[in-house]
Homo-oligomer: A and B are copies of this chain.
Amino acid sequence: MRQLCMPRGLANETLPRLESVICIARPVTRGEALYRGGDPFRYLYAIRTGAIKTVMTQRDGREQVTGLRIAGEPLGLDGLGSNAHTCSAIALEDSSVCIVPYAPLLELCRDIDTMQARLLALAGEHIARVEAQMMVNDSMSADERVARFLLDLSERNAQRGYSATEFSLRMTREELGSHLGVTLETVSRTLSGFQRRRLIELRGKAVRLVCAEALRAV
């Protein structure tokens, strides 16, 4: 697990110092908020098990799912800029996260080059991910969006050592729709369509990619 969190390519002797910074895991039960928009930004997180969605709320009350993070992925970068989180993080299943206090982490970064680089890289990866997501949602049809989501999730599962072909959507159709900028009905119809065309198999939130190639071709 350790290598999935913050460090990667760290010299071994620095590990103890890192561990002195990382608090032990904290459990988050399904539906619970790890943090909420507006909360003071004090910690970064790494998901150990489970899945967590990030949600943004605007003045008028409309909510949107801005991201889905699964085991092995970092969380909380949205607070970097200010001293408050800009969105809420809510557990989709019972999960557990590593808590990394930000201030000590900064100290560590000052002493350890690779740590600093790693933190900035995480921020950069997140930027790239969000920008890619934005492009998908802006310029593609509902079918394409859903297909891309499936492929993205598949790839991330694979990266973390899980199955690339069989996994859980983790979110309800409504959350998925919110994330992709379409309605839940459209998500449902699209998934049904994919199943009819034998691109996927579907049972509730469980999917099996039957023909990833065809999905890639929209």
Contacts and interface: CB of A to CB of B under 8 A. Distances in A.
Interface of A: 56, 58, 62, 64, 66, 77-82, 86-87, 106, 109-110, 113, 116-117, 119-128, 130-135, 137-139, 178, 180-181
Contacts of A109: 116
A162 to B, nearest CB: 22
Contact of A81 (B81, B110, B124, B135): B124
A65 to B, nearest CB: 9
Given A87-B131, A127-B123, A131-B130, A138 B64 contact: yes
A75 to B, nearest CB: 12
Given A78-B131, A120-B123, A130-B131, 7 more contacts: A64-B139, A80-B121, A81-B126, A86-B132, A110-B110, A134-B134, A134-B137
Contacts of A125: 80-82
A50 B12 CA distance: 47
A181 B139 CA distance: 6
28 contacts: A56-B132, A56-B135, A58-B135, A64-B134, A64-B139, A66-B135, A78-B124, A79-B124, A80-B121, A80-B124, A80-B127, A81-B121, A81-B122, A81-B128, A82-B121, A82-B128, A87-B131, A106-B113, A106-B116, A110-B113, A119-B120, A123-B123, A123-B124, A127-B130, A130-B131, A133-B134, A134-B137, A139-B181
